[in-house]
């Protein structure tokens, strides 16, 4: 790093926004080839831009190896600021487009299992019916990954189970949380494996079988642990820990493995004949489902339209 301090004016004169876009894509993908493809450049051109940035800052940004491009400590520092700048550019683009047409833009939605199977598909369908020009990108991950991405501007909104207020994660970032409804857990199994089971199977009978539970760092794991604790039972011994809807459904369909799912998320698979509800739990046992936004940033017009559709779907389901 150069000994002389940089100034805002000097960096403004030297840096080009397109350079930062390329840097952001290399940071995100870990690959010069993919970054070049995403920004419409050749690989040598993308590599030249990275070298120019390193020369400007007087410090290496990446460690290059056959496993890809890994950011240096300084590269990670720069990346945190560049991600915020890229988010602001996206917001500006959406607002300019919305000002002209009112029906375009880009919404990047982070989602959890409680929303990905039922609530989110219906919301997206409603949004696209009224505003087909709005691009929707969906990213499914654990809350511990989604909230930092929301705070940095990588996501516009997170939809799913809200963290309990007492949990550190609920207050770790400058976010606001809006409740849509309270959700219950249910125990589900593959319909073909449980065809002869009674209508309601006692949890004590199911406990000794094979299970899928949320990963330990997930707030929904607390709901699962509370369910067994209140029944006077220890957690199952044969457990797969997963938040992936696709993986969980595949495991349940291929073997007599039980799983805990939010009632709304399970409903579509039950209605289609793939899953069967083996046991219900107390109302509200899963927690509150809603959406989270940045506290320091007003949603883009496209995101506000998405939120309106989200609320309409919930109102319709509640019979409002």
Q: What's residue 150's pLDDT?
A: 93
Q: Are residues 113 and 200 in the same domain?
A: no
| Mean pLDDT, residues 16-44 | 92
Report yes or no on 177 lying in a domain.
yes
Do residue 294 and residue 175 come from a single domain? yes
Q: pLDDT per residue over 115-139, tens digit each?
A: 677 889 999 999 999 888 889 999 9
Across the chain, where does the E strand assignment appear? 62-65, 68-71, 105-111, 134-140, 157-161, 175-183, 185-190, 210-213, 238-241, 257-262, 275-280, 287-294
Average of per-residue pLDDT across 72-83: 92
- Cα–Cα distance for residue pair 157/142, rounded to 1 Å: 14
Q: Is there a domain that residue 226 lies in?
A: yes
Confidence of residue 100 (pLDDT cuts 50, 70, 90): low
Share of the chain above pLDDT 70, in %: 93
- Stronger pLDDT, 158 or 117, i.e. the higher one: 158
Does 305 share its domain with 172? yes
pLDDT higher than threshold 80 for residue 94: no
Provide, rounded to the nearest whole percent, the portion of the chain with pLDDT above 90: 47
For residues 209 and 101, give the distance between their C-alpha atoms in angstroms, rounded to a whole number: 56
Task: Give Cβ neighbours of residue 294 (< 8 Å, ≥ 6 apart).
Answer: 150, 151, 153, 174, 175, 176
294 and 268 within one domain: no
Tally of structural domains, the chain: 3
Q: Model confidence at 170, in pLDDT bands (50, 70, 90)?
A: low
Q: Looking at the chain, how many residues does it have? A: 320
Q: Which one, of 30, 38, 29, lies nearest residue 63 by Cα?
A: 30
The Cα–Cα gap between 291 and 14 comes to 40
Indicate the range of 139-143, 161-165, 196-200, 252-256 predicted with least confidence: 161-165
Strands 175-183 and 287-294, sheet pairing:
antiparallel
Residues 295 and 307 in one domain: yes
Would you state the structure tokens that stand for residue 246, as one six-digit string? 């696709």
Looking at residue 210, its pLDDT comes to 94
pLDDT at position 113: 66
N-terminal to C-terminal alpha carbon distance within the chain: 61
CATH code (residue 49): 1.10.10.10
The domain that holds 253 is classified in CATH as: 3.40.190.290
Say which residue, 109 or 283, is predicted with more confidence: 109
Same-domain pairing of 203 and 239: yes
pLDDT beyond 60 at 258: yes
Per-residue pLDDT at 319 exceeds 80: no
Q: Are 61 and 53 in contact (CB under 8 A)?
A: yes
**pLDDT value for 98:** 67
As a whole number of angstroms, the distance between CA 243 and CA 215 comes to 7
259/189 same-domain check? yes
Task: State the pLDDT confidence band at 99, using cuts at 50, 70 and 90.
Answer: low
Q: What is the pLDDT of residue 175?
A: 92
Q: Which domain holds residue 34?
A: 8-82
**132 and 153 fall within a common domain:** yes
- Condensed to tens digits (0 to 9), the pLDDT of residues 217-229 reads 777 788 889 889 9
Tell me, yes or no, whether 90 lies in a domain. no
Query: Do 71 and 134 belong to one domain?
Result: no
Is the model's pLDDT at 254 over the cut of 90?
A: yes
> What is the rounded distance in angstroms from the CA atom of residue 124 to the CA atom of residue 59?
44
Residue 89 domain-assigned?
no
Tokens for 45?
Answer: 């051109």
Q: Is the pTM of this model over 0.75?
A: no
Would you call 30 helix, strand, or coil by DSSP?
A: coil
Shared-domain flag, residues 197 and 261: yes
For residues 125 and 67, state if they share a domain: no
């Amino acid at each position: 790093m150069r000994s002389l301090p940089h100034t805002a004016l000097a960096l403004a004169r030297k840096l080009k926004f397109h350079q930062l876009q390329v840097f952001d894509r290399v940071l995100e993908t870990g690959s010069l080839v993919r970054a070049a493809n995403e920004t419409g450049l050749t690989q040598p051109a993308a590599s030249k831009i990275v070298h120019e940035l390193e020369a400007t800052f007087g410090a290496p940004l990446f460690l290059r190896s056959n496993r890809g491009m890994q950011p240096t400590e300084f590269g990670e520092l720069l990346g945190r600021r560049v991600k915020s700048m890229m988010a602001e550019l996206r917001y500006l683009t959406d607002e300019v487009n919305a000002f002209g047409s009112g029906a375009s833009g880009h919404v990047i939605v982070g989602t959890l299992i409680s929303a990905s199977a039922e609530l989110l598909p219906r919301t997206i369908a409603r949004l696209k019916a009224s505003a087909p020009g709005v691009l929707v990108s969906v990213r499914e991950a654990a809350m511990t990954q989604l909230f930092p991405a929301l705070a940095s501007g990588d996501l516009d909104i997170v939809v799913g189970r809200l963290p309990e207020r007492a949990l550190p994660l609920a207050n770790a970032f400058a976010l606001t949380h809006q409740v849509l409804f309270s959700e219950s857990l249910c125990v589900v199994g593959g319909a073909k494996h449980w065809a002869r089971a009674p209508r309601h199977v006692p949890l004590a009978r199911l406990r000794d079988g094979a299970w899928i539970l949320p990963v330990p760092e997930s707030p929904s794991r607390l709901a699962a642990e509370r369910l067994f604790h209140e029944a006077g039972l220890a957690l199952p011994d044969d457990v797969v820990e997963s938040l992936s809807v696709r993986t969980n459904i595949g495991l349940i369909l291929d073997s007599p493995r039980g799983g805990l799912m939010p009632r709304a998320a399970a409903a579509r698979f039950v209605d289609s004949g793939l899953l069967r509800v083996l046991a219900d739990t107390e109302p509200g046992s899963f927690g509150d489902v809603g959406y989270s936004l940045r506290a320091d940033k007003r949603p883009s017009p496209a995101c506000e339209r998405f939120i309106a559709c989200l609320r309409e779907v919930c109102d319709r389901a509640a019979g409002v």
